[in-house]
Amino acid sequence: MVTRSLVVSAVLGLSWHTWAFSTAAAKATATSSAAAPAFTYDNTSFLLHGEPYIIVGGQMDAQRIPPAYWRDRLAKARAMGLNTIFSYVYWNLLEPEQGVWKMDEESNDIAKYFQLAQEEGLHVVLRPGPYICGEREWGGFPYWLSTIPDLVVRSYNEPYLNLSQIYLERLAEILRPLQVTEGGPLLMVQVENEFGSYNDSDHPYTEALRDILRANFDVPLYTNDGTVNWTLAGGSVPGVLAETDGSPVDGFAARDEFITDPSMLGPLLDGEYYTYNPDTWGVDNPHYTTDGDAAAVAQIVDDLEYVLSGNNSISFYMFHGGTNFALGNGALWKNYTAAFTTSYDYGAPLGEDGRTTELYFTLRDTIQKYIADPLPAPPTNVPLLSIPSVTLSAQEALFDLSFTKTTAASPLTMEELGQNYGFVLYEHQVTETAEGLLSPGDRARDRVIVYVNGVRSGVIDSTYEYPNNISVSLVPGDNLRLLVENLGRVDYWSLESGLANHILDPYKGIVGNVTVGTSVLQDWVISSIPLDQAPSPALSNSSAAVGAGPIFYVGSFTLGSNFTHASQLDTFIAVPGGVKGIIWVNGFNLGRYWTIGPQQSLYLPGTVLRAGQSNEIVVLELEPDSNTLTARGEAERVWGNNPDPDYGE
């Protein structure tokens, strides 16, 4: 299974000034000569085949990158001077429904990703969760865990641990042959993820996870936690190397001070050194980047120098963030929903489009100071494609399509409908007069578009701490529709936040009853609209009428054929006249757009496009006001914010 190509040794003729930079090639000889364990550590150093090994790592999750670009991104990591890739694994994509495994899908082929990493001269560190945070939908948990009676995630709970065990065993089956003990690139496996900030006292849970991982992997385990005593105390596990994240200065000091159990001690690793920040949707929210921020860059360089000059280890979070394709983003609850954008650019050294940034070269120069041999030449950036305006015509009203419908006296949640992501439409035929403030269950989960007799009355949007108050006046015969969007389940909650723990309350759609004034509305027709399949390209040509709710727009463009590599077709798709919606290109879901920003265009990987042929764009616009929209491919990415047409008066 592990292919060792000659290319590997050619790429890897490097060694560090002060410490061995072990390579696949070096390893091949070392394994035969020494009895030293493949990868271990003493009090101060990681040891690869007995030689000190400094991890110069970077996080890059396979499942946020088009598989056809995995090798490109890995090679660029290597050329920046990284020797190790850290990757989370998103359980919800591997097992989207209980017992339904999608391990074989190209985008979930973690083993392939690790093999490519090895071929590119990199080691890997596995961060399998089951909870990974990562600004992913519900921290990577599959939605269906929320439907299992008595199951409590992230705790010593039998139903949860049983299912976690099944997942981890399935994953290990595939990844075990790629451990360094077997000649593969896998060095270490993380236990849970920053558990100490979630619960300071559930040690039986993390110990159970440790035991599951120990039974399935031969390489060392580690934990990664915040840099204060209570998080380290809560997250560290006996017998497992305890590491920190955030500032390496604070983290290493905290590790030295607060971790005293010798079975948790070893070399220092900053397991998540933040290169910047993820973005959240919001009229006032910026795109985070170090571009033009000399002070931020200087701090990063200082921190990196601090780590490397001390012979310690680091992993950049993120080296390359990638994209939350297909509604994969998570959210935070802060008395309002802070939903992460489709882009997970993160201000990382390698941009969302896989192009190197200034930060990339700054970090490369810094790392190079610690390496005797010159790093491989970084690739030049391939220009992005510009696609002139494409006219999209209104083709089909969302509410005219047929979805799975359920009738119920009171609303059912998205999870009760057996639905993972997307939208739920709740429809009520009014039989009794009702007037007053409309309350969509216990709160908006997360964004509710209200229609009376097909006319939009307003939006109740939980991304605001004080969502709009929508009052309606209903008389018998009226039709009320509530289109409820899951903006991403909450992926992180901290014990000290003082806020409700939405990790334990991930439910979407409507929870509780809908009331108008003092009336409880009973009898609903509920449609599941997961949009997990691309809408059919053969949408009927009914020229949907504007004003009747969301509309699918369709258009196409033909590309020339003089392209030699998919990256020449990479672009950013903007729908300048759109308010909020989803874009598919050739059936591939690029994710959500939203005029409020900061993201104003969606990354379209060239791998999705067909050179020399016609390419189809489908846009679901939630708030259409015209028979046509335009889309264009931008060769120059623009970030920014616009006012929210749906908030306030």
Residues marked as catalytic: 194, 272
Compute the distance between CA of residue 566 and CA of residue 608 in angstroms, rounded to an integer. 8
Instruction: Yes or no: say if 240 and 210 are a contact pair by the CB < 8 Å rule.
Output: yes
Can residue 261 be called a binding residue for ligand NAG (CB under 6 A)? no
Radius of gyration over alpha carbons of the chain, in Å?
25
When asked if residue 556 is in the footprint of ligand NAG (CB under 6 A), the reply is no
Of 40, 289, 341, 468, the one binding ligand NAG (CB under 6 A) is 468
User: Minimum CB separation from ligand NAG for residue 517, in Å?
Assistant: 14
**Least distance from C-beta 546 to ligand NAG, angstroms?**
16
Sign of CA dihedral 57, 58, 62, 66: negative
Residues of this chain, 323-342, that bind ligand NAG according to CB under 6 A: 334-335
Residue 202 touches ligand NAG, criterion: CB under 6 A: yes
Contact 243, 269 (CB under 8 A): yes
Contact call for residue 466 and ligand NAG (CB under 6 A): yes
Residue 180: name the closest of 26, 308, 312 by CA: 26
523 forms part of the interface with ligand NAG (CB under 6 A): no
Q: Is 366 in the site for ligand NAG (CB under 6 A)?
A: no
Q: Which tokens belong to 171? A: 């994953």
The DSSP output letter for 80 is: H
| Binds ligand NAG (CB under 6 A): choice among 22, 23, 108, 199 | 199
Using CB under 6 A, which of 32, 201, 402, 533 touches ligand NAG?
Answer: 201
- Shortest CA distance to 569 belongs to which of 577, 560, 578? 560
d(CA 540, CA 542): 6
Two structure tokens written together for 294:
């000399």
Q: In angstroms, what is the minimal distance from the CB of 542 to ligand NAG?
A: 9
Does position 99 interact with ligand NAG (CB under 6 A)? The reply is: no
* Dist CA 68 CA 111 (whole Å): 14
Query: Is position 436 an interface residue for ligand NAG (rule: CB under 6 A)?
Result: no
Q: How far is the CB of 18 from ligand NAG (least distance, A)?
A: 4
Q: Is 256 in the site for ligand NAG (CB under 6 A)?
A: no
Binding part of the chain for ligand NAG, among 67-75, 217-225, 461-469, 570-578 by CB under 6 A, reads 461-469
Q: How far is the CB of 21 from ligand NAG (least distance, A)?
A: 12
Looking at residue 323, the DSSP 8-state letter turns out to be B
Percentages helix, strand, coil for the chain (3-state, rounded to 5) are 25, 30, 50
518 binds ligand NAG (CB under 6 A): no
Verify binding: residue 513, ligand NAG, rule CB under 6 A: yes
Using a 10 angstrom Cβ sphere, with 0-12 exposed, 13-18 middle and 19 or more buried, the burial of residue 540 is exposed
Distance CA 164, CA 141 (A): 10
Number of shown-chain residues binding ligand NAG (CB under 6 A): 33
Q: Which residue in the set 149, 292, 374, 560 belongs to the binding site for ligand NAG (CB under 6 A)?
A: 560
Q: Which stretch binds ligand NAG (CB under 6 A): 397-405, 447-455, 555-563, 578-586?
A: 555-563
Q: Is 162 in the site for ligand NAG (CB under 6 A)?
A: yes
Q: Among 31, 277, 285, 311, which residue interacts with ligand NAG (rule: CB under 6 A)?
A: 311
What's 325's DSSP letter?
T
Residue 310 binds ligand NAG, judged by CB under 6 A: yes
Interacting positions 20-59 with ligand NAG (CB under 6 A): 43
How far, in Å, CA of 422 to CA of 137, rounded? 12
**Closest approach of Cβ 105 to ligand NAG, in Å?**
27
Which C-beta is closer to ligand NAG: that of 640 or that of 645?
Answer: 645
| Binding span for ligand NAG by CB under 6 A among 247-255, 317-325, 463-471, 589-597 | 463-471
Q: Least distance in Å: CB of 157 to ligand NAG?
A: 8
CA distances (Å), 307 to each of 21, 134, 315, 472, 498, in order? 16, 23, 10, 60, 34
Please say whether the beta carbons of 506 and 147 come within 8 A: no
**Residue number, 254 or 348, with CB nearest to ligand NAG:** 254
Is 1 a residue that touches ligand NAG (CB under 6 A)?
no
Q: What angle do CA 117, 610, 618 make, to 5 degrees?
A: 105
The two structure tokens encoding residue 152: 């409590």
CA torsion 571-572-576-582 (nearest 10°) is 110
How far apart are the C-alpha atoms of 585 and 556, rounded to whole Å?
9
Residues that bind ligand NAG (CB under 6 A): 18-19, 43, 155-156, 158-159, 162, 199, 201-202, 229, 233, 258, 262, 265, 310-311, 334-335, 410, 466, 468-469, 495, 512-513, 520, 541, 560, 562-563, 568
